[in-house]
Structure 1
Amino acid sequence: MSKIRDLANTIIGALAIVVVLRSFAFATYHIPSESMVPTLEVGDRVAAVKFPYGYSRFSLVGGDYLPRFPGETGRIPAAMPARGNVAVFRHPVSGEDFIKRVVGLPGDRVAIREGRVWLNGAAVPLAESGHWTYRDPSGAIVAVTAYRETLPGAEPHTILLRDRRSPMSDMAEAIVPEGRLFMLGDNRDNSSDSRFSSMGFVPVENLIGRADAILYSFASCAGEAGLRCAPRRMLERVE
């Protein structure tokens, strides 16, 4: 009986450590779609650190069933992300975990004209940087133009645009409400994000963590009978 008790205590202790780490330190997430290409590719496993944004009930394992934390943002402490951060958050409609780039902060005026983001009346710098190809869910190869976008106060990052005159490339100016964020995918023609009513502005409370590293990837695969996959990159900082 003592051996069984010791084994049970070891298992319970290990589970408790995992829950604490996943709630307060970091958690890992799998990238299932092309919405953040080229920053993140399908098959990437990213680590999202929790402490930079403080903690809300969505930060904690099983926290969906907890009451909202006190304060205007529902976070302790009430930390705010920076423009350009790649963040994991709880989708305000579907309740799924999503990952997008923070583009607009509370009070910002955001518009999109021919694929270019405008913030507070000024165009965000956008410079063509070549071409990119990727495989869409149907297996077809998609060719798009790559651009370097530089949000205020952030390092440049690469986005993809297939057609700067498509309906997805324009959005009337809107003001980001208090306690909300405007989120965009880097693959602008293939991302469900804050441009659409299916997501809308994301509550700051719904932030889970900042995506800081790609732990490994199975995006590059080859083989016939079985896929043989190798990591694409290890512990690369996500700007």
Structure 2
Amino acid sequence: MSEENQGFMGAVWETIKTIFWALIIAGIFRTLFFQPFWIPSSSMKDTLLVGDFLFVNKMAYGYSYASCPNIKIARFGVDIDAKDICGFLDGDNSRVWGGEPERGDVVVFRHPVTHQDYIKRLIGLPGDTVQVTGGVVQINGEAVTVEDGGTFEEIKEAQGPEGRYPRCYNDPVGEGGVCVKERLIETLPNGVTHSTLNIADGQDLDDTPVFTVPEGQYFFMGDNRDNSTDSRVAQTSFGVGMVPYENLIGRADRIMFSSAGRSMLFFWTWRGDRFFKGIE
């Protein structure tokens, strides 16, 4: 082999090694510290909008099998579940260097049945009772404080890669029209204040039975209360139900980037006012 060919093959090998180690380092960083998360649905409006991009703080609650990523590349038939990588941490509902989440945290967790990653707000702690009556959350028999927050308005148009249309309090609204939702300010017992949205009164999930949160599990709800599949729905491939401690992935603290379009590359749809925005 000529010196020229040897030099070329050497450069190729060095490139392969560089890419390999870069992927290893990125995988370790993603597993131990921060996981990227792109908001795909409207269940957390107006706290989180479709197209918000954030990093999930995995150090907040320690580590479990759920800290390892799911690796899914449908085009190449790759479907590796977190349990396939970190299954040795599964089974006892505990965590390494575990930290307790606080009521009101916005948390990314692994769905107990489908193993998909969800993001919701923590409402009920172990031992709590939770009920929704007339759209108002009751925790341990006491209604949370709710105040008028005005309205939330957006354009009735397809949103995000999935192209879903928002539901509106003032429906029917034609495409391109102003979609209005009632906005409320909710204060939880520990003083955490955040906004929620109401699309319509008298919805199925506006009145629920009393849920008792078991030890080692948590009760989650979306801020867009009439458009969220959460712990109010029994645990199935559709409903979330109670979420075990070991299924928590991390806490969402800050939006890093946001795009209102169907791709992050559509720079004309970027929401500059949401860059580095804190999550309340």
TM-score, length-scaled by structure 2 = 0.78
8 Å CA contact 2:108, 2:119 repeated in 1 = yes
User: Equivalents in 2 of 1:71, 1:97: separation in Å?
Assistant: 19
8 Å CA contact 2:64, 2:90 repeated in 1 = no
Structure 1 residue 3 corresponds to structure 2 residue 37: no
Structure 1 residue 202 corresponds to structure 2 residue 243: yes
What's the secondary structure of 1:17's corresponding residue? helix
The CA deviation at 1:101 is 0.4
> Partner residue of 1:213?
254
8 Å CA contact 2:83, 2:90 repeated in 1 = no
1:159 corresponds to which of 188, 191, 196: 196
User: Equivalents in 1 of 2:146, 2:201: separation in Å?
Assistant: 12
Structure 1 residue 64 corresponds to structure 2 residue 83: yes
User: Equivalents in 2 of 1:103, 1:170: separation in Å?
Assistant: 16
What's the secondary structure of 1:2's corresponding residue? helix
> Partner residue of 1:54?
62
> Partner residue of 1:235?
276
Structure 1 residue 74 corresponds to structure 2 residue 97: no
> Partner residue of 1:112?
132
Count of paired positions? 235
Structure 1 residue 101 corresponds to structure 2 residue 121: yes
Q: Which amino acid aligns with 1:25?
A: F
8 Å CA contact 1:88, 1:207 repeated in 2 = yes
> Partner residue of 1:86?
106
8 Å CA contact 1:160, 1:186 repeated in 2 = yes
1:156-179 deviation digits (Å, cap 9, x = unpaired): 100001234322211111110111
User: Equivalents in 2 of 1:7, 1:220: separation in Å?
Assistant: 34
Q: Which amino acid aligns with 2:211?
A: A
8 Å CA contact 1:56, 1:68 repeated in 2 = no
Distance change >3 Å, CA 227–CA 24, structure 1 → 2: closer
Gaps of 5+ in 1: none
Aligned 1:20-59 pairs, distance under 5 A: 20-59=28-67
Aligned 1:121-132 pairs, distance under 5 A: 121-132=141-152
> Partner residue of 1:138?
165
The CA deviation at 1:68 is 5.1
Structure 1 residue 177 corresponds to structure 2 residue 211: no
Higher strand share: 1
1:79-98 deviation digits (Å, cap 9, x = unpaired): 22111010111111222111
8 Å CA contact 2:35, 2:55 repeated in 1 = yes
TM-score, length-scaled by structure 1 = 0.90
Aligned-residue Cα RMSD (Å) equals 2.1
What's the secondary structure of 1:53's corresponding residue? coil
Greater CA drift, 4-13 or 76-85: 4-13
Q: Which amino acid aligns with 1:28?
A: P
Structure 1 residue 191 corresponds to structure 2 residue 228: yes
User: Equivalents in 2 of 1:172, 1:207: separation in Å?
Assistant: 25
Q: Which amino acid aligns with 2:222?
A: G
The CA deviation at 1:143 is 2.1
The CA deviation at 1:227 is 8.0
The CA deviation at 1:2 is 3.3
1:165-219 deviation digits (Å, cap 9, x = unpaired): 3222111111101111100000000011110122111111111111111111112
- The structure with more radius of gyration: 2
Give runs of ≥4 in structure 1 deviating > 4 Å: none
What's the secondary structure of 2:87's corresponding residue? coil
User: Equivalents in 1 of 2:148, 2:103: separation in Å?
Assistant: 21
1:50-101 deviation digits (Å, cap 9, x = unpaired): 0011011111235321325278533112322111010111111222111000
